[in-house]
Amino acid sequence: GAGVSQSPSNKVTEKGKDVELRCDPISGHTALYWYRQSLGQGLEFLIYFQGNSAPDKSGLPSDRFSAERTGGSVSTLTIQRTQQEDSAVYLCASSPGSPGDTQYFGPGTRLTVL
Protein backbone atom coordinates (compact mmCIF):
# COMPACT_ATOMS: atom_id res chain seq x y z
CA GLY A 1 0.00 0.00 0.00
CA ALA A 2 0.93 3.66 -0.15
CA GLY A 3 3.47 4.95 2.31
CA VAL A 4 3.60 8.26 4.12
CA SER A 5 3.57 11.21 1.74
CA GLN A 6 4.58 14.79 2.38
CA SER A 7 4.23 17.98 0.40
CA PRO A 8 5.82 20.09 -0.79
CA SER A 9 9.09 18.27 -1.27
CA ASN A 10 10.99 21.52 -1.08
CA LYS A 11 9.91 24.95 0.07
CA VAL A 12 11.88 28.16 -0.19
CA THR A 13 10.44 31.15 1.60
CA GLU A 14 11.43 34.57 2.78
CA LYS A 15 11.99 35.42 6.40
CA GLY A 16 8.77 36.51 8.03
CA LYS A 17 6.43 34.56 5.75
CA ASP A 18 4.14 31.77 6.92
CA VAL A 19 4.47 28.23 5.57
CA GLU A 20 2.31 25.11 5.69
CA LEU A 21 3.72 21.62 5.44
CA ARG A 22 1.45 18.68 4.78
CA CYS A 23 1.65 15.04 5.81
CA ASP A 24 -0.56 12.21 4.60
CA PRO A 25 -0.01 9.13 6.81
CA ILE A 26 -0.40 5.48 5.95
CA SER A 27 -4.08 4.62 5.78
CA GLY A 28 -5.34 3.31 9.11
CA HIS A 29 -2.43 4.64 11.16
CA THR A 30 -3.79 6.54 14.13
CA ALA A 31 -0.49 7.90 15.42
CA LEU A 32 1.32 10.65 13.59
CA TYR A 33 4.60 12.35 14.51
CA TRP A 34 6.41 15.43 13.27
CA TYR A 35 10.19 15.64 13.59
CA ARG A 36 12.74 18.18 12.45
CA GLN A 37 16.18 17.34 11.16
CA SER A 38 18.79 20.04 10.87
CA LEU A 39 21.75 19.58 8.52
CA GLY A 40 23.80 16.53 9.51
CA GLN A 41 21.84 15.96 12.69
CA GLY A 42 19.48 13.37 14.10
CA LEU A 43 15.80 13.85 14.77
CA GLU A 44 14.23 16.52 16.92
CA PHE A 45 10.69 15.66 18.06
CA LEU A 46 8.08 18.35 17.47
CA ILE A 47 4.58 16.97 18.09
CA TYR A 48 2.58 13.76 18.30
CA PHE A 49 -1.04 13.10 17.32
CA GLN A 50 -3.25 10.22 18.36
CA GLY A 51 -6.26 10.52 16.11
CA ASN A 52 -7.07 14.21 15.87
CA SER A 53 -5.76 15.16 19.28
CA ALA A 54 -2.21 16.15 20.17
CA PRO A 55 -1.38 14.74 23.63
CA ASP A 56 2.26 15.78 23.31
CA LYS A 57 3.24 19.17 21.90
CA SER A 58 6.31 19.41 24.05
CA GLY A 59 8.75 19.60 21.16
CA LEU A 60 7.33 22.64 19.40
CA PRO A 61 10.19 25.16 19.62
CA SER A 62 8.05 28.29 19.88
CA ASP A 63 4.49 29.56 19.58
CA ARG A 64 5.18 30.28 15.92
CA PHE A 65 4.81 26.54 15.34
CA SER A 66 1.42 24.87 15.32
CA ALA A 67 -0.07 21.70 13.88
CA GLU A 68 -3.43 20.17 13.34
CA ARG A 69 -4.82 16.89 12.13
CA THR A 70 -8.23 16.45 10.63
CA GLY A 71 -10.31 13.34 10.07
CA GLY A 72 -7.67 11.27 11.80
CA SER A 73 -5.64 11.47 8.64
CA VAL A 74 -3.89 14.44 7.04
CA SER A 75 -1.82 16.71 9.24
CA THR A 76 -0.58 20.22 8.59
CA LEU A 77 2.39 21.82 10.34
CA THR A 78 2.28 25.60 10.17
CA ILE A 79 5.22 27.88 10.86
CA GLN A 80 4.36 31.55 11.20
CA ARG A 81 6.78 34.41 10.68
CA THR A 82 9.55 32.06 9.57
CA GLN A 83 13.10 32.64 10.73
CA GLN A 84 16.34 31.47 9.19
CA GLU A 85 16.87 29.03 12.05
CA ASP A 86 13.68 27.25 10.96
CA SER A 87 15.53 25.97 7.88
CA ALA A 88 15.62 22.19 8.14
CA VAL A 89 14.06 19.00 6.82
CA TYR A 90 10.67 18.37 8.39
CA LEU A 91 9.85 14.67 8.60
CA CYS A 92 6.50 13.11 9.30
CA ALA A 93 6.05 9.56 10.54
CA SER A 94 3.01 7.42 11.24
CA SER A 95 2.38 4.20 13.13
CA PRO A 96 -0.63 1.99 13.80
CA GLY A 97 -0.93 3.59 17.24
CA SER A 98 -0.15 0.89 19.79
CA PRO A 99 2.83 1.11 22.16
CA GLY A 100 5.99 -0.06 20.50
CA ASP A 101 4.71 0.17 16.95
CA THR A 102 7.33 0.97 14.36
CA GLN A 103 7.18 4.46 12.92
CA TYR A 104 7.23 4.79 9.14
CA PHE A 105 8.55 7.97 7.64
CA GLY A 106 7.67 10.16 4.71
CA PRO A 107 10.27 11.67 2.39
CA GLY A 108 10.29 14.97 4.24
CA THR A 109 9.98 18.61 3.29
CA ARG A 110 13.16 20.64 2.98
CA LEU A 111 12.41 24.15 4.19
CA THR A 112 14.81 26.95 3.33
CA VAL A 113 14.22 30.37 4.83
CA LEU A 114 16.12 33.14 3.06
- Does 93 engage in binding with another protein (CB under 8 A)? yes
Question: Is residue 65 within the footprint of another protein (CB under 8 A)?
Answer: no
Interaction residues for another protein, span 10-39 (CB under 8 A): 31, 33, 35
What is the C-alpha separation between 47 and 31, in angstroms, rounded? 11
Q: Which is nearer to another protein, 20 or 44 (CB)?
A: 44
Q: Report helix, strand or coil for 85.
A: helix
Size, binding site for another protein by CB under 8 A: 28
Identity at 110, one-letter amino acid code: R
Smallest separation, CB 108 to another protein (Å) = 4
Tell me how far CA of residue 82 lies from CA of 18, 62, 111, in angstroms: 6, 11, 10
Report d(CA 34, CA 42) in Å as an integer: 13
- Binding-site ranges for another protein (CB under 8 A): 31, 33, 35, 40-43, 45, 48, 50, 55-56, 59, 89, 91, 93, 97-100, 102-108, 110
